[in-house]
Amino acid sequence: MRFDTPAGTNPIDQLKVVGRATSRIDGKFKTTGTAPYAYERHDVVPNQAYGFVVGAAIAKGRISAMNVEDAKAAPGVLAVVSTLDYAKPLPLGKMNIAHLFGGADVAHYHQAIAVVIAETFEQARAAASLIRTDYARSPGKFDLAREAADAPIAPASDKTKLPIDKVGDFAGAFAAAPVKLDQTYMTPDESHAMMEPHASIAAWDGDKLTVWTSNQMIHWSKGSLATTLSIPEEKVRVDSPYIGGGFGGKLFIRSDVVLAALGAKAARRPVKIALTRPLMMNNTTHRPATIQHIRMGATRDGRLTAIAHSSTSGNLPDGKPETAVEQTKLLYAAANRETYMKLATLDLPEGNAMRAPGEAPGLMVLEMAMDEMAEKLGVDPVEFRILNDTQVDPEKPGRPFSQRHLVECLRTGAEKFGWSKRHATPGRVREGRYLIGMGMAAGIRNNQLTKSAARIKLERDGRLTVETDMTDIGTGTYTILAQTAAEMMGVPLDRIDVKLGDSDFPASSGSGGQWGANNSTAGLYAACVKLRAAVARQLGFIEADVQFADGKVTAGGRSVDLRDAARGGPIVAEDGIEYGTLDKQYQQSTFAGHFVEVAVDGYTGETRIRRMLAVCDAGRILNPKTARSQVIGAMTMGAGAALVEELAVDKRFGFFVNHDLASYEVPVHADIPHQEVIFLDYPDDKSSPMKAKGVGELGLCGVGAAIANAIYNATGVRVRDYPITLDKYLEKLPEMS
């Protein structure tokens, strides 16, 4: 199905099932421990052996020798596969830049250099410790601040664009502006820190490979694995029905699945591998650190006339920058604009997508700068943002937003949060030993349109089975797909069976970039349209007149039980959604207003978040219950980014020191006592037939800055270097009487 114009009569608009708060249908499996995650799938193939991955002990250089003989002779060992077994690195699949395996060169610390396969995990781990490796270490670049000055401007991802995006005359407008801001800000390297590790089981059946793994993008991964192993794509099956968190870290294949496949071939046994936490943090991907420079010029009445934003980040050779300037191109009106990114070569583990890549670190900076500019102007931060709102793409004025209710997000949030009670002068509100402050920020995250397909089958007994390679990374995908099928086919939710994550199913959008919900349900919508037509024909109805409700098919005064259509055998329909040029006609984005109250201990500097509010504009909300869960999780992640999360780089030896969950700190329930989410819930008919948009990453976008702004309002101390740990402001706190 091609969708590039608004839908007419749409069964989804009945809203009997879609749009209702619905408990996750996979919840009972998660809460009872019966949902099979990748490493736990003991029954998918018999005789599973265990693999243990060995990571490089240096960050840059070359392996000069490796002795694996003692490991091979250790008890229970079935095989040892070494990177030196391959003359050069294995080829990489879609969007992978990391050196996954093969050859003697070491590109980063904990790069996989060997895997030991044994009868038990303990035997594999013990044997791995017997491998002896000699290295020729090379000088490496591990310090972003040191490399930033000489970092080149990153090339544009689109060859038709220039590396520097310019509109108007920024330099002239900035020089002439009566009120100016010119500041530099920093965000750190961060880890995805999802609960489930990267894990895989691999089994060969002749020349055919099946992997049961934890991965967000099944279609990508099937192609990438085929490329890496140099086998035809049709010889690879990827299965990933349950995923214990990903946040972008499982968008691409990593060393666990590659080494499980290689190990299984060498041992002639199915092999299972889970990466240890240190390997997850150094061997896989992370959110790269940034150094961001923002300049703003405004008239004295608060209208922005000029805005420039540059960001410097680092990555391995052939890597891409953290796109932290993207939201600045869209969020506020200013006639004169300049944005660009610089990319330094660093010999650290690969920097790549992490929840809301670009906007998450970019808004931590832009929205702090907006507060600083509002203070210079003497304008309330909420009103300053409203004053500079725009209903068209400010860099492409002929392209309107499909919908943009940012002003309503901000006004609603201000009213519900009690923003009028905020004291504009920092450091003035105290409760005993605590300094109290409020902060806010705007959020934006684009709505990406991605083709997606599904299959739906009407069984003889009247049940409906949905099949798509779409994944559920804890987001409620099983539930919203079941809701979509139930709405379209007019049956109760308990008559829908949803099967996900298998590459034998039609290729979906996958989970990432908050595009999964809208696109995967739209793909299923298309399949349901085709099934409705097939059922109508089977029952002798005219397709245009037919209605599906209460388990019956009705038209022209005649009503037939839906299951009667499949008496002669199941009816199967498969289709997908494609959008044509719709995203070129309209700028499609989601928006949020974030509000936070903090209490800072005036003696110790400890920050406690008291309450948080997010007001979200994200099209139709398909399931308010699961959507709220996504947003409060993202808000919590934003609190971590603002206050505690940082991968500490050893700049001598080039690795992340705090590479476990004991020393990489993340927020817990006790850190945030109260969170509230409000959805505006305006269906967007230019987004998809579902009229929905993504929301899971929007909940993160802007949260960090809202917390930073609240800390400033509480203390009067501005910290422009995240995370805002107490050592950065303790000595500057106001005197406590």
Residue 619's DSSP bridge partners are 692
| pLDDT range class, residue 300, cuts 50, 70, 90 | very high
> How does DSSP classify residue 152?
P
Residue 154 structure tokens: 């990153």
| pLDDT range class, residue 571, cuts 50, 70, 90 | very high
CATH, domain 41-354, list 1.10.3720.10, 3.40.50.300, 3.30.365.10, 3.40.720.10: 3.30.365.10
Residue 499 structure tokens: 């099967």
Residue 559 structure tokens: 């009503």
Task: Say how far residue 552 (Cα) sits from the centre of its chain.
Answer: 40
Contacts of 703 (CB under 8 A, 6+ apart): 441, 443, 594, 596, 612, 614, 634, 635, 637, 638, 639, 641, 642
Residue 596's DSSP bridge partners are 439, 612
Cβ atoms within 10 Å of 72's Cβ, excluding its own:
15
Q: Is the dihedral of CA 53, 59, 62, 67 positive or negative?
A: negative
Structure confidence by residue, pLDDT tens digits, 703-723: 999 999 999 999 999 999 999
Tell me whether domains 11-35+450-578 and 41-354 share a fold. yes
Residue 714 structure tokens: 């509480």
| pLDDT range class, residue 558, cuts 50, 70, 90 | very high
Torsion angle (degrees, nearest 10) of CA 515, 521, 525, 527: 90
> How does DSSP classify residue 400?
B
Cβ atoms within 10 Å of 73's Cβ, excluding its own:
11
Helices 218-229 and 255-267: crossing angle in degrees, nearest 10, is 50
- Find, among 260, 255, 239, 675, the residue nearest to 469 by Cα: 239
User: Distance (Å, rounded) from C-alpha 330 to C-alpha 707?
Assistant: 22
Task: Give the side-chain half-sphere CA count within 13 A for 58.
Answer: 18
Contact 81, 266 (CB under 8 A): yes
Residue 76 structure tokens: 């229970």
Active site residue: 326, 367, 697, 731, which one? 697
Judge whether 731 counts as a catalytic residue.
no
Query: In the block, which residue shows the tokens 């038709």?
Result: 160
- Residue-level pLDDT at 6: 47
Structure confidence by residue, pLDDT tens digits, 206-258: 999 999 999 999 999 999 999 999 999 999 999 999 999 999 999 999 999 99
Q: Does 94 have pLDDT greater than 70?
A: no
Query: In the block, which residue shows the tokens 């401007």?
Result: 153
Taking the domains of the chain in order of start, what are their residue ranges? 11-35+450-578, 41-354, 355-448+585-732
The class of domain 355-448+585-732 in CATH terms is alpha beta
Fold category of 11-35+450-578 in CATH: Aldehyde Oxidoreductase; domain 4 (3.30.365)
Residue 440's DSSP bridge partners are 595
- Residue-level pLDDT at 217: 97
The three-state DSSP-derived secondary structure of 208-251 is EEEEEECCCCHHHHHHHHHHHHCCCHHHEEEECCCCCCCCCCCC
Residue 436's DSSP bridge partners are 599
The percentage of the chain sitting over the pLDDT mark of 70, rounded to a whole number, equals 99
| pLDDT range class, residue 564, cuts 50, 70, 90 | very high
**Phi then psi dihedrals of residue 306, to 5 deg:** -150, 140
- Residue 277 sits at the vertex; the CA angle it makes with 276 and 282, to the nearest 5 degrees, is 100
Q: Does 624 have pLDDT greater than 60?
A: yes
- Residue-level pLDDT at 596: 98
Structure confidence by residue, pLDDT tens digits, 596-622: 999 999 999 999 999 999 999 999 999
Contacts of 398 (CB under 8 A, 6+ apart): 392
- Residue-level pLDDT at 95: 62
| pLDDT range class, residue 512, cuts 50, 70, 90 | very high
Contact 275, 305 (CB under 8 A): no
- Residue-level pLDDT at 4: 64
Q: Does 7 have pLDDT greater than 60?
A: no
The three-state DSSP-derived secondary structure of 560-587 is EEHHHHHCCCCEEEEEEEECCCHHHHCE
Biggest CA pair distance of the chain: 84
User: Distance (Å, rounded) from C-alpha 21 to C-alpha 44?
Assistant: 34
> How does DSSP classify residue 57?
S
Residue 381's DSSP bridge partners are none
- Residue-level pLDDT at 369: 99
Q: Mean of the per-residue pLDDT values for the chain? A: 96
Torsion angle (degrees, nearest 10) of CA 312, 316, 317, 321: -30
**Phi then psi dihedrals of residue 476, to 5 deg:** 95, 25
